[in-house]
Copies of this chain bind each other. A is one copy, B any other.
Amino acid sequence: MDVRTLCLGILTLGDASGYEIRKMFADDAIGEVFDANFGSIYPALNRLTEEGLVVCTAQAQEGRPDKKVYSITAEGRTLFTHELMRVPARDRFRSEFFVILLFADLLPGDRVGDLIDGRIVHHQQEVARLEALARQESAGALNTPFMVGFGLAHHRLAVSYLTENRHLLENAGSPVAQIAE
């Protein structure tokens, strides 16, 4: 599923501009499972317009570029519902944090602990952010509680896993740690 299809999906929830679509990826539940920048959203909307899957209405504004509001067409809606019926591609998870920890033995003594401390703080911040998002009762028809609940569960798990299992990496293989014993 590419950015073009995702934009189409977001437009099933109501009209929006490219800027507003970008905000959804940044702030709303969909951002937990997909990302998209202006550099991919604007070309995607232009292509969808050419294909007749959306239509665009320019709204004049003072001192700013015209706001281009997109609406999905009947064909667009049909196409998107068909896209939803396809077998979903497998999840992709990529984490440099874990790659670094896999090579923890090559790091200086205190680096692993610092990294894990920072990561725990990060997950706690994510928990706070998602709790705020859950409180917002976001306007769109997206199934936000289900998705946000999963994100919360994930970040809470990460905090407890890191706290309970950091000993597997700290004082494990680094020469400095061994000397310190």
Chain A positions within 8 Å of B, measured between CB atoms, are: 1, 6, 9, 12, 29-30, 32-35, 80-81, 84-85, 88-89, 91-107, 111, 115, 141-143, 145-147, 149-150, 153-154, 157-158, 161, 165, 168-169, 172-173
Contacts and interface: CB of A to CB of B under 8 A. Distances in A.
B91 A94 contact: yes
Contacts of A105: 141, 143
B100 A84 contact: yes
A156 to B, nearest CB: 9
Count of chain copies: 2
Q: Is chain A's interface secondary structure helix, strand, loop, or mixed overall? A: helix
A169 B81 CA distance: 17
A32 to B, nearest CB: 7
